[in-house]
Amino acid sequence: MGKRMECVHGFGDPEWCSFCKRPPEGIKEVVYWTSGGQVFHNLIDCELLVGGQRLAAHRGLGNRRIDSGKHGSVGERGACSWCCAYYFTLKEKENRRCYIRDSVHSEWLEVQYLAARVLIPEKEIFEFRVRTDAGEELIVHKPNIMFSNDIA
């Protein structure tokens, strides 16, 4: 049996402390944010966090430091809809399924659909975030993703 974590802020049970309690399922132990951002991220290299830094630099605003810490440190920030997509599917009790092509075997694998975003609108190029039943999150593009209404 593992050692029980103790709250360093004086609470008897770490689940009573917003800083020491476990994050919700779908949110990692360590998350990332900037002081100017409205959301926190599961991944330090999240495309939306990196893109926000690029946009701020392009607008001459300069980049804010990327901070990291426990989920309880994020204040009023919400979760990123892209890198925290699994959290949102759990919150909404969604388990939408789709199929992706396994690049090694060229077989279709059933996975959980998490989120999509547009990369190039005029060419209708999308990026899809999915989660395998083993818990691995992947990014796929068409034609390597298929939804049930695509099946003839």
Mean pLDDT, residues 45-56 taken together: 89
- pLDDT over 70 at 3, yes or no: no
What are 40's strand-pairing partners?
79
Res 1: pLDDT: 45
Mean pLDDT, residues 61-76 taken together: 86
Q: In the 8-state DSSP scheme, what is residue 29?
A: S
Mean pLDDT, residues 52-80 taken together: 87
Contacts of 40 (CB under 8 A, 6+ apart): 31, 32, 33, 71, 74, 77, 78, 79, 80, 84
pLDDT band at 61 (very low <50, low <70, confident <90, very high): confident
Task: Count helices and strands (H / E) in the chain.
Answer: 2, 9
Cis status, amide bond into 24, omega within 30 of 0:
no
Mean pLDDT, residues 54-81 taken together: 87
Token pair in block for residue 16: 């009573």
Domains in the chain: ranges and CATH: 14-80 (no CATH), 95-150 (2.30.30)
Share of the chain above pLDDT 90, in %: 47
Nearest to 66 by CA among 50, 85, 79: 50
Res 152: pLDDT: 46
Residues 5, 57: Cα–Cα separation, whole Å: 41
- pLDDT over 60 at 43, yes or no: yes
- pLDDT over 70 at 127, yes or no: yes
**Cα separations (Å) of 10 from 15, 57, 69, 82?**
12, 42, 19, 35
Contacts of 115 (CB under 8 A, 6+ apart): 81, 82, 85, 88, 128, 129
Least confident of 2-6, 85-89, 102-106: 2-6
- pLDDT over 80 at 15, yes or no: no
